[in-house]
Chain A
Amino acid sequence: MKSYYDITGDGGSNILGQIGAMQAAIGEKLAGVKHRIAIGSGKGGVGKSTLTRQLATALRQRGNACAILDADINGPSQARLSGLHDVPLLPGTEGVALPKDANGVGVVSLGSLVPETEAVRFDSVSQGDSHTWRATREFTALAELLASIDWGQLDYLLIDLPPGAERTHQFAEFLGSQTAFILVTVPSDLARGVVSRSVVSLRDTPNRLLGYVENMRGYWCDACNEVRPLFPESERIELGIPRLGSVPFDPELAAACDRGELVLGSDRPWWIAVRKLAETVEETIESKPSAE
């Protein structure tokens, strides 16, 4: 009797062919993207989205064409961070036009489409079992977005990931081996412990792990005019990957993010650190992987 592998096709719907066609469409749309970098952590609340947003601004100011894909379907924040609340997806002749912020950074986020007063929901023919299909549907939604946007020629596409160490691994498989990763942590063992799981998880993939960023390394105190400690110094969990930079927390930046205002220039320590980070990211991704 024939086995599954003896039979070509599925006799009708060509499910695998359809999935392959979607992957081919993604490849075609991303053909003009030089570097894809996923920014994840594993841990939530460490500032992945804010850092992604600011890194894109810094890369842009260094002359790079940049865009952000907000891959956090359930908690999209890039639209607010970029001041792009009510910008519709507009179909052009080569696909959906890439929405851009005032700095020229492309931003694709469901936050532009779904009001913050609404949950992001998918239609379903079944009831009460979303745990069985929701993750699949979310990845499909991202695939459909990737395949429909006219990304054009980009130096960097930054992909802002949702939390979850295992999710980070899933995104590595979903985005393919051409996507490099940067992990974000804060200087606490609690966060570093989770990020460490992501490091281990990513080592099972062919994806390049550029290093990690230590976010909220102290906070800028206007009264003291210096960066003050935010987390207690403790015995560190070794992540075993390069530290690309450390960025202090700044209440002024947090307020600007809440207002959806882009900070395009500043002499404050966080911005100096992000600019340095952008330079390091450029150098690292252009270097040979074996140099890491």
Chain B
Amino acid sequence: MKFLCVPCDKPMQLLEATPPDRGSVSLVYSCDACGYEFAMLTNPQETQVVTSLGVKIGRDGEAESKCPFTGMLADMETSEDGIRWTPQAQERLSSVPEFVRSMAKTGIEKYARDQGYAEVDEKVLDEARSHFGM
């Protein structure tokens, strides 16, 4: 979708994207030539259709990207028993698709717990890979 300033015949630029509010995203566009601004306010259905493409809305990804609509629910909570993650392990975890990340995290924490670890670091992740034959 693109927006055109009709009087200037110039494409309008995204100025601001606000975080979703009850499924609605507010996107402010402006015309660089005349300064005219307008806001596009999506309804939840429109927001859902676009975000089902797995894209992030905002200028060059700067806007709210951790959309609540990209997660998959499987009625499972991540561990709440205090398993810590090192920044390096967290970084690796970010390579798991967001829609299954919480499930992957739960599984890894279960492995760590079973092995008596209080912290997940890269060594634990590598060890788990060997454990599961990967």
Contact = CB atoms under 8 A, between A and B. Distances in A.
Interface string A189-208: 00000000000000000000
A120 B12 contact: no
B96 A123 contact: no
A88 B103 contact: yes
Given A10-B2, A12-B13, A13-B14, A122 B49 contact: no
A114 B54 CA distance: 20
Nearest to A146: B97
Interface residues of A, number: 55
Contacts of A121: 72-74
Centre residue among A87, A90, A113, A124 by max chain B CB count within 10 A = A90
Given A91-B95, A125-B68, A12 B104 contact: no
B108 A88 contact: yes
Interface in B25-64: 27, 29, 43-45, 47-60, 63
Contact of A89 (B52, B55, B69, B107): B107
A9 B27 CA distance: 16
B55 A15 contact: yes
Interface in A138-165: 140-141, 143-145, 148
A90 B53 CA distance: 25
A208 B62 CA distance: 41
B131 to A, nearest CB: 9
B74 A125 contact: no
Contacts of B117: none
B13 to A, nearest CB: 5
A90 B132 contact: yes
B100 A110 contact: yes
Interface string B93-122: 111111110011011101100000000000
B59 A114 contact: no
Nearest to B23: A125
A18 interface: yes
Contacts of A95: 95
A19 interface: yes
A290 interface: no
B4 to A, nearest CB: 6
Given A18-B56, A90-B125, A125-B69, A11 B44 contact: no
B103 A11 contact: no
Given A19-B55, A123-B71, A91 B96 contact: yes
A285 interface: no
A125 B20 contact: yes
A122 B134 contact: no
B9 interface: yes
A1 B75 contact: no
B74 A120 contact: yes
B60 A126 contact: no
Interface string A98-120: 11101000000010011100101
A271 B74 CA distance: 36
Interface in A1-18: 1-2, 4, 7-15, 18
Given A11-B13, A114-B103, A123-B68, A129 B73 contact: no
Interface of A: 1-2, 4, 7-15, 18-19, 22, 86-93, 95-100, 102, 110, 113-115, 118, 120-127, 129, 132-134, 136-137, 140-141, 143-145, 148
11 contacts: A10-B1, A15-B50, A18-B54, A19-B54, A22-B54, A88-B132, A90-B108, A102-B133, A113-B104, A113-B107, A121-B74
For the complex of A and B, 3 pairs with smallest distance between CB atoms = A12-B14, A88-B107, A125-B23
